[in-house]
Structure formats: structure tokens, C-alpha cells
Amino acid sequence: MSFVEYGDTIKDGDTAIVFLGHESMFPVKVQHGTVTQTKYGVIRHSTDLIGKKYGSKVTCSKGGWVFILHPTPELWTMNLPHRTQILYSTDISIITMMLELKPGSIVCESGTGSGSLSHALIRTVAPTGHLYTVEFHQQRAEKAREEFREHGVEHLVTVTNQDVCKSGFGVSNIADAVFLDIPSPWEAIGHAKSALKAEGGRICSFSPCIEQVQRTCLVMEEYGFTEINTLEILLRMYNVRTISLQIPDLGKAAEDNSSAGFDSSNPSNQGSPCTNLQQGTVQFKSGVPLREMVGHTGYLTFATKS
């Protein structure tokens, strides 16, 4: 099993996603002799998972059923254990596009955190690219290194435990892109410039506060970065549902139709809007925004090394 290469069959040691519904899923490490409890009953790894195909419908001990999905960076973002605040698919998608990442790209990242963005970057640059990720916190760095090994992507990533603001990324003049998600990104701009290739490399900094953005942009200008721009993504979800609306009282227009000899029993008049006047309401499908919307997550600042 690998997060960048699809495998048909569930094997001992794999990470799989147990799918109970769109709003209910969780990751599980498949191990011989282990059981997993769900609200639908027990899943026995030895008999219910190992050897089955990904995507299989598995019946639990209480008669309910779940699907077992192959892990992807998108599913991992939704289900990973949070060691820090993470980036979600909305921000990740614009980051990979604006950094112009592709298979074979070399990327530097700080900090690693819970590895949400890291998995997406690895999948984007595979099979010939590489991610150099730096994490200041030792335990988080060790846990990230362990997860990458379990997920079959350790050959595509190098995890370093150090302070990027003092020691940099450990590479020079090879990166196609640099991503910063640290409290004081302006202190790492110089190291980011050193890590980027000679010309044309891209940088992105994620910050939750506009004061951090202002200071970072000033330092980017001092180091000669160009095309500096900042954006913010706000995602608004819609539900498609059936809406019932009362038909308005058309007043004099309805009376005029009646006086003109309008006959609702006449087939030629069937389907006329006036035939709905007796019903009182009309139903139709509409997109309705959710009552609450996830607002500000952070600002994304992009620039190019000239």
C-alpha cells in the first residue's frame, strides 16, 4: 500500500479508511488478529479485511456494513490525527497550482505539522520529485517520519528536525518551490531564497494574521522577490433541496383571465401558469447555502525568485 500508488488488495500493515458515511469515516491500521469496533459492530481484520479488495463492502458483527477505501491525500486530510492545525483541500489545491508543482519537482516545506499538506505535495511530485520538510518539534518530526514510512512514501521525502529560521532547509539552489507555515516566516525568507533554484523558483507563505503578511511581504521585497501577491480563500457550501414557495396573488390579471373566458378544462390551456393558482404553492429544486460558513483560515502569499 502506498499513498501515491494504488493497490488492489488489502494487506497486513496497510492503512485503510473505514467509510461509514460522508460525514463519518476513520483510518485504521490493518493488522492480523486485530479487531476494530464501529457502531455497526466489530470488523475482524484477519477475516474481514486482509485479502479483500479495496472498495469492498464489509458486513460488521451487528449486521451493518461499511466500505473499506484505499487511502489518498484527500482522505488522509479528512481523517488524520491532529498534532497541529492543518491545511485543508481548499488551500492545498491553490497552493499546488500556484507553486506550479508537477511530477519531478523539488519542494521544501516548513513546518511539517500533522503532514496534511506533505502528503499532497508528495503525491504531486511523485514518482521522480522529492519533498524536503523541516519540523522544529522533535516528537512531531519523528511521528511524521514514521507515518511516511508506514504510508510507503519515505523514498520521496526527507524529514529534518531543526529550526528553519536559524538553520534553513539543508539544501541549496535545487528547489522549484518553498512553502512556509511558521509563526515568523519573514525570518526564513533568506533561507528559502538559498534553497530555491537560481531563477524562477516560487515561494508560498501561509499566515493567519495580516500583520504577519505585511512583514513577510516587506522582507520578500528586500530579498528581490517579484510578483508578490496575497489571497484568501472562503469556501461556501450549498445544499440542493426541494423548495416550496407560495404562488403570489396576481390580482387583476387573474380576474382578466377569468372574464376572458379562460377554461382550465380545455386541453389547450393545460400547463398555463394560471392553472397553478388553485394549488397555492409551487415546488422546485434550488441550491441553498449552509447557515454557517467556515470563514477565514489564513492568507496565502506567493512570490517568484527573480
Fold designation for 73-232+293-303: Rossmann fold (3.40.50)
- Known binder of ligand: residue 163? yes
User: Sign of torsion, CA 142 143 146 148?
Assistant: negative
Pick from 17, 23, 8, 11: nearest CA to 237:
23
For position 281, what pLDDT does the model report? 87
For position 258, what pLDDT does the model report? 54
For position 275, what pLDDT does the model report? 44
- Known binder of ligand: residue 63? no
- Known binder of ligand: residue 298? no
The domain limits of the chain are 7-70, 73-232+293-303
Ordered alpha helix ranges (H), 6-102: 73-79, 89-98
Distances from the Cα of 143 to the Cαs of 82, 102, 130, 282, in angstroms?
11, 27, 19, 57
Residues of the chain with confidence (pLDDT) below 50: 262, 271-278
**Residue 230, beta-bridge partner list:** 301
Cell 494574521 locates to: 209
C-alpha grid cell, residue 73: 491525500
For position 279, what pLDDT does the model report? 53
Concatenated DSSP letters of 263-295: -TTSGGGTT-GGGGGGT-EEEEEEEEE-SS---
DSSP code of residue 136: S
For position 23, what pLDDT does the model report? 84
For position 246, what pLDDT does the model report? 86
* Pairing status of strand 157-161 against strand 15-21: unpaired
Evaluate whether the domain defined by 7-70 bears CATH number 3.30.70.260: no
- Known binder of ligand: residue 256? no
Q: Is the pTM of this model over 0.75?
A: yes
211: CB partners within 8 A, 6+ apart: none
Pick from 146, 162, 170: nearest CA to 111:
162
Compute the radius of gyration of the chain from its Cα atoms.
27
Q: Using CA atoms, how far apart are residues 192 and 175, in angstroms rounded to an integer?
A: 9
Express the helix, strand and coil content of the chain in percent, nearest 5 each.
30, 30, 40
- Known binder of ligand: residue 249? no
**Would you call 17 helix, strand, or coil by DSSP?**
strand
C-alpha grid cell, residue 40: 455497526
| pLDDT tens digits along 280-300 | 888 889 988 888 777 778 999
- Known binder of ligand: residue 271? no
Q: Using CA atoms, how far apart are residues 181 and 175, in angstroms rounded to an integer?
A: 17
- Known binder of ligand: residue 118? no
